Amino acid sequence: MTEQLESIGSIAIELTVGLFGLLLLTKVMGRASMSEATPFDFISMIVVGDFVSDAIYDPETHILKVLFAIFFWGILIYMIDFITLKLHKTRAFFESQPVIVIRNGIIDRMALKKNKVDINHLQMLLRDREIFSIREISFAILEPNGKVSVIKKPEYGTVNRNDLSLPVHAVSVPVTLISDGVIIRKNLKEAGKTENWLKDELAKRSIENSSQVMLAEWRDEDGLFLQTK
pLDDT digits (tens, 9 = 90+) for 38-77: 556 666 667 666 666 666 666 666 667 767 777 777 777 7
- In which order are the strands placed within the sheet that holds 148-152? 106-107, 99-103, 137-142, 148-152
Query: How many domains is the chain partitioned into structurally?
Result: 3
Same domain, residue pair 186 and 115: no
Task: Report the C-alpha gap between 60 and 50 in whole angstroms.
Answer: 16
3-state DSSP: the chain helix, strand, coil percent, rounded to 5? 55, 15, 30
β-strand partners of 223 = 219
In-domain check, residue 169: no
What burial class does residue 216 get, using C-beta atoms within 10 Å of its C-beta: 0-12 exposed, 13-18 middle, 19+ buried? Answer: buried
Same domain, residue pair 49 and 80: yes
Query: How confident is the chain (229 residues) per 10-residue block, as mean pLDDT?
Result: 64 68 64 52 66 64 69 77 74 74 92 89 92 92 88 86 76 86 90 92 92 91 88
In-domain check, residue 165: no
Numbers of helices and strands, H then E, in the chain: 9, 8
In-domain check, residue 162: no
What pLDDT does 31 receive? 46
In-domain check, residue 167: no
Q: What is the CATH number of the domain that holds 196?
A: 3.30.240.20
Same domain, residue pair 27 and 80: yes
Task: Report the C-alpha gap between 29 and 78 in whole angstroms.
Answer: 7
Reduce the DSSP state of residue 132 to 3 states and report it: coil
Same domain, residue pair 85 and 8: yes
Same domain, residue pair 147 and 218: no
What pLDDT does 43 receive? 66
Query: Cα Rg for the chain, rounded, in angstroms?
Result: 26
Same domain, residue pair 22 and 66: yes
Same domain, residue pair 18 and 83: yes
Domain stop point among 70, 92, 114? 92
Same domain, residue pair 142 and 125: yes
What pLDDT does 138 receive? 93
Range of the domain at 24: 2-92
Task: Report the C-alpha gap between 170 and 168 in whole angstroms.
Answer: 7
- Contacts for 116-120 with beta carbons within 8 Å, 24 or more apart? 117/142
In-domain check, residue 166: no
